[in-house]
Amino acid sequence: MKTNKIWSILAMLVVSVTVVFFTSCSSDDDGDGSKDINVQEVVGTWTCTASTDKVDGKPITGYMVGESITISEDGKFSSTASSIGNGTWELNGNKMSAKNTYGDTFSATIVVSGNKMKWSGSSSQGVSFDYTWKKN
């Protein structure tokens, strides 16, 4: 009888540990753009192919289309868009933060797939944005 009780407890312990192990594991890439980005993936010159800005809750479509940005490995960027300008940037996981020479700050979640990059973020000027870029 005592042996059966020990085996029952041991079996319950094994099942419990197995359940905890498998429920705590999750995929590293859930398809929501949360994949860490390598700096080399964003370095280069990019041209905007689609854009939506929201200013005071009103959408502006296409404002950035045709503008370009050059992102350098040394943490600097320059853009043909006066609203972005020139400045410095840094990457943490899939989050990019930047500050231009005017003192404006930007933060965006980025997704890179081949020669396309998507930004979804906001600026210190109260503008939210969604941009799609193509690497030149």
Domains in the chain, number: 1
Instruction: Name the pTM for this structure.
Output: 0.74
> Which pLDDT belongs to residue 19?
40
Q: Which amino acid is at 33?
A: G
3-state secondary structure at position 130: strand
Given a cut of 70, is residue 99 above it in pLDDT? yes
Return the CATH number at 91. Answer: 2.40.128.10
In-domain check, residue 32: no
Q: 107-113 contacts: CB < 8 A, separation 24 or more?
A: 109/33, 110/33, 110/37, 110/42, 111/33, 111/35, 111/37, 112/37, 112/41, 112/42
3-state secondary structure at position 122: strand
Residue found by looking up tokens 């999750």 in the block? 26
In-domain check, residue 20: no
Q: Which of 29 and 68 is assigned the larger pLDDT?
A: 68
In-domain check, residue 22: no
**Of 12-21, 30-39, 100-109, 116-125, minimum mean pLDDT range:** 12-21
**Of 14-28, 37-51, 99-113, minimum mean pLDDT range:** 14-28
Q: CB–CB of 117/132 below 8 Å?
A: yes
In-domain check, residue 14: no
Joined together, the tokens standing for residue 86 give 């020139």
DSSP per-residue string spanning 73-111 = TTSEEEES-TTT-EEEEEEETTEEEEEETTS-EEEEEEE
